[in-house]
Structure 1
């Protein structure tokens, strides 16, 4: 098998943000809280707990999530609360996610007027390159005054290996993910039970089950997909003893050879495409699999059309909440990853170190020490505030160290309650820790009743050892980036232009070997060298 399984997947029941908790939890939600490294998180109160000697304003350039608009300091009780707790007044320059943020960030980075803090690095390689040239300050030079960041670096040694610049200095602190489980195989539970069908254990059984259901439910979509064919390749490849990483243009780390290889050149990849073509020809794989957008995918599920998909674990909760809300009998649940032709199975997890989403302090900062201390506060004493808002209003700390979301907040049991963003001005991206979805109360993971299908699905994946070890995040120097931009783009574009032709039958599978040669002629050997050189550099960090 080309991947190794990590240890048991972390199942820490913490929320990614109170906004999510409020939408999915009712009443009180209890969460154990410790600082990075296991130390108890210190409380601060008023000016006695300030992290600076006097009120200090910091200008922060930050992405704005479309669902979570950023309010000005004057209109945000949350930002005023942070000032009261730390002495730091945040002047946030927010720009919408996506191309607008990338364009504005590039303009700022090319100017001589950088803000104190870039809160969403977006392109770590670019920030690191500028850091090496002096535009950003290194955390290393301030670590003696940043105990919580130091604890975080000790707890997650992969941060430096993943995020550090080529000079091994750390110019960026990343977002931390406590949950490495990402996607899973999702089936309509109610229909499997109604038809007395067992969850398929192999891909051959999956085909048979979907054929049976297609005949019984001709108006349904047996297998729905979104985000194009690369989404399918990435999720299925491990089961055919190959790989396809979208972030590295199809190259993946083969853990047997300890080298990066280009998945489509392997025979297992070809066999996977042959199987997908069969599923498409039989009308099982969604005819719109290559073009269906996320909103279209969501609408199809709202209409209860799909029977099977591969998607994020959070969909288990959101879809079932939707069905329960409209008193529908439809339910979705995870099944163990089916085994491929040689017995391999599983979906790659995600690294706890989220690249291209970190914090950098510019050399232009008028008070760099205050900037670093505030970031340290976010990774330590401020973690609860960054996640939950205002203590005593949006959440409370219990005597046993747990957190309870305030009853006045919007939830399933209190749909007209207060909204964390609208009513308090909470800032989504200020939270640098992302946690799994939480529930109303502790639930038994062996129980597959309606209200517990999310936790039950987690246990299905864990018991099946369905989470495959993720590839490391590599960094590249300027020359390597030039190769990736030119030849990497050429290879990826040509792959995308042809892969759907093979699956849909527009190009015969007999031409696959010629297709591989066509890809090789576009610079695969040069790309192979770039990825393997970068991997060796990663190992030496």
Structure 2
């Protein structure tokens, strides 16, 4: 492994949802400077290092050694080490040497996009979510990956076996091609939901609430028993809770707001805040604040991690009993309670998002982060070999297991029934596995870092999950219904610029008013006035633009 460093030429906190609308528009315009041919690569001549007979579920080994350059986001608490075993193991298996270009976590998305638009990105661009390829389509800065799927047998196999074909069709851009390939998930459940102090809900409220209305009644009972508490919190600027709650109200909000469009009653897309479901969502959380059940501070605290840490402390002091979080958050809350209440004297766990007026809906089944390829690779003699290597790295089950756990019989063992266990002397502290045992396979060896997160079978996901997390997956899959995928409406270059300029003031107005209404700082009687403010900000023109793109895309894909 060799590395290079990018100087920090942009400052600022990295948004959870990635590129801001203004930066999105800037990239869309600046990316026009690079250009590339629309002709597909002739893989029959650019095949040096490619493997004969490469097939799904087989080990890729390059016929000749070659290098692949990759962007790597540096997490502050997981600095890359030259001694990391992960890169050495990849080279042993594949004959491929990965070289890294580093990006600091603080503004990785912005720097990544500027590198791409300037034509300076390395070959492999990971940590890309669906839709983030849009600004680079017209310039040819990234490779149209859908042109080469026929050379990716692992990808094809698991898209079909896991029932993801329609979802893959929806990631195509306005020209009908896909420029990123996502991480595939055999099962998809909401990562964030409610983390509850289950023992308290059982003892005080008589059970685990299934609906938002039941949650409210349970919180009232807990508030009566623990009068100094504010029993419900978010810790992520409200963005997490509003996101997973919105689906049960038939709308979308928070982190999942996206372009703000949902299916309207007339068969056209409608702006979510103008729907009755959005108003019901706001009124529900407004009532929680009014009754002292929702921690107002946790709805305004920074989402850089400090807000969640504050909620963890409140859990430990029994001032909070329910909060937004993931399976990892549940572990953190439990560890904090071990120090105050005592180990074994509490039960903390993730529960399915509550049901609501729109039923048992949860977020649509989704992908995880994947990758793009810089168009510079189209001139490489190793083009086909690179495609094969990435198909193995991102979608081969053995590769996925290696990225998560390391080397079988060196760092972990695997029983006949598929159960995986770390060997003596190895730990994975992030998941509270053999904590403090010695060598952390993530911090010290590079396994279970972000490349391991992308594609996962259900068995692999469960291999590092606690029994409570596995139960959460089962509960969601058996009691909740994923919403239909949001209809695709990919925009062309000119529309990207227009929509960004229109979307920003609209979203700012929505964020401001939503918080004001929930906190009680604005009378709910002013809801119609709020809708009028959106109209004055150009709402109809924005909705018409997105609906036009949706109609055009439907005609393109036929």
TM-score using structure 1 length? 0.78
Question: What secondary structure sits across from 1:298 in the alignment?
Answer: helix
**How far off its partner does 1:321 sit?**
5.4
Shift of 1:493: 0.6
Contact kept in structure 1, 2:330 and 2:349, CA below 8 Å:
yes
Determine the C-alpha separation between the residues in 1 that align with 2:434 and 2:70: 36
Query: How many angstroms apart in 2 are the aligned matches of 1:147 and 1:466?
Result: 30
Summarize the Cα distance change of 1:419–1:233 in structure 2 as closer, same or farther, 3 Å threshold: closer
Q: Greater shift after overlay, 175-184 or 515-524?
A: 175-184
Shift of the alpha carbon at 1:241? 4.0
Q: How many residues align?
A: 481
1:478 paired residue number: 493
Mapped to 1, the partners of 2:138 and 2:353 lie a distance apart of: 44
Q: CA deviation at 1:376?
A: 1.5
Q: Which deviates the most, 499-508 or 144-153? A: 144-153
CA shift at 1:230, angstroms?
A: 4.1
Matches within 5 A, 1:404-483: 404-410=421-427, 412-413=433-434, 415-426=436-447, 428-431=449-452, 432-434=454-456, 438=462, 452-465=467-480, 467-471=482-486, 474-483=489-498
Contact 2:205–2:221, Cα closer than 8 Å, also in 1: no
The answer (yes or no) to whether the contact 2:195–2:350 under 8 Å persists in 1 is yes
Match of 2:74 in 1: 64
Q: 2:345 aligns with which of 308, 316, 329?
A: 329
1:192-203 paired onto structure 2 within 5 Å: 192-195=201-204, 197-203=206-212
Q: Which moved more, 1:383-392 or 1:218-227?
A: 383-392
Q: Is the 8 A contact 2:238 2:254 kept in 1?
A: no
Give the equivalent residue in structure 1 for 2:362: 348
Partner in structure 2 of residue 275 of structure 1: 284
Matches of 2:127 and 2:209 in 1, distance apart? 42
CA gap of 1:192–1:40, structure 2 versus 1, over 3 A, is: same
Superposed CA deviations along residues 394-431 of structure 1, whole A, max 9, x for unmatched, are 23455566655434421544632321134323372333
**Structure ranking higher on relative contact order (CA contacts 8 Å, 6+ apart):** 1
Task: Identify the residue that residue 193 of structure 2 maps to in structure 1.
Answer: 184
Aligned partner of residue 61 in structure 1, secondary structure? strand
Tell me how far apart the structure 2 counterparts of residues 287 and 454 of structure 1 sit (CA, whole Å): 28
Matching of residue 493 in structure 1 with residue 508 in structure 2 = yes
Report Cα offsets for 1:255-310 as digits up to 9, x if no partner: 86543222221234323323322221211111213213222223323434212234
The residue aligned with 2:545 is 530
Task: Note closer, same or farther for the CA distance 1:397–1:139 as it changes in structure 2 (3 Å cut).
Answer: farther
> Which of 323, 332, 340 is matched with 1:309 structurally?
323
Question: Is 2:124–2:372's contact at 8 Å kept on the other side of the alignment?
Answer: yes
Which of the residues 143, 152, 171 maps onto 1:146? 152
Question: Aligned partners of 1:453, 1:398: CA distance in 2, in Å?
Answer: 22
1:84 corresponds, among 92, 101, 118, to 92
CA distance, structure 2, for counterparts of residue 537 and residue 318 of structure 1? 47
Which aligned pairs between 1:18-417 and structure 2 lie closer than 5 A?
41-42=57-58, 44=59, 50-51=61-62, 53-72=63-82, 75-99=83-107, 101-121=108-128, 124-125=131-132, 127-155=133-161, 156-158=164-166, 160-182=168-190, 183-195=192-204, 197-244=206-253, 246-249=255-258, 251-254=260-263, 257-292=266-301, 293-320=307-334, 323=337, 326-327=342-343, 329-334=345-350, 338-340=354-356, 342=357, 344-346=358-360, 348-354=362-368, 357-364=370-377, 366=380, 367-378=382-393, 379-380=395-396, 382-397=399-414, 403-410=420-427, 412-413=433-434, 415-417=436-438
Q: Which ranges in structure 2 are unaligned for 5 or more consecutive residues?
A: 1-54, 302-306
SS at match of 1:392: coil
Structure-1 separation of matches of 2:130 and 2:360: 29
CA distance in 1, matches of 2:402, 2:117: 33
1:507-535 deviation line (CA, Å, top 9, x unaligned): 21111111111111112112212333343
Instruction: Provide, for residues 225-264 of structure 1, a one-character-per-residue CA deviation record: whole Å limited to 9, x for no partner.
Output: 2222444433333444444364545724338654322222
The residue that corresponds to 2:36 in the other structure is none
CA distance in 2, matches of 1:78, 1:336: 35
Q: 1:336, 1:391 → 2: CA distance? A: 34
Distance 2:435 2:326 in 1: 27
Deviations 1:324-347 (A, max 9, x none): 58515222245565554x5x3335
Q: 1:186·1:334 contact (CA, 8 Å) conserved in 2?
A: yes
Does structure 2 retain, via aligned residues, the 8 Å contact 1:242–1:263? yes
Q: Report the Cα distance in structure 1 between the residues aligned to 2:234 and 2:334, rounded to whole angstroms.
A: 18
Q: Structure 2 vs 1, CA of residues 438 and 122 (structure 1 numbering), >3 Å: closer, same or farther?
A: closer
Change (3 A) 1:230 1:130: closer
Structure 1 Cα separation of the partners of residues 463 and 156 of structure 2: 32
Structure 1: gaps (5+ residues): 1-38, 442-450
